[in-house]
Amino acid sequence: MSRTTTGDDDDEDAGEGAHHLIPKLMHNAYRRRGFTRAELAQTTSICRPCHNAVHRAEPHASLAANYNTAEKLREHPEIAKWVEFAATQRKGGRWDHAVMVSDTQYAKAKRRMKAQ
């Protein structure tokens, strides 16, 4: 989740999608609260398995209220656990978790696997 966009970015990388930082299901409620369309259109690039992990972790209302930045998403305990697992997966395959998993996390996971 390294790249946050305003929603105008159509050149997404293969295997990546967009996660709305305020889920689209919540947009009407947040428009009534005074949020602009630009604020609601903010997304972050994320692969499908990582996106699924985010939506398994919390309901839409909670994601909108409490986890509306990439940094806050990474701090969520269940998502952090997923990121730790994703770091052990092969990099550059069908799903590249590099959006959520840093190179440092990949290196640590690789060292742990070699030590076993």
pLDDT tens, residue by residue, 77-101:
999 999 888 888 776 665 566 556 6
* Residues 89 and 113: beta-carbon distance below 8 Å: no
CA pair distance 15, 12, nearest whole angstrom: 8
pTM summary value: 0.70
For 23-80, the pLDDT digits (tens) are 999 999 999 999 999 999 999 888 888 899 999 999 999 999 999 998 999 899 999 9
Q: To which H or E segment does residue 21 belong?
A: none
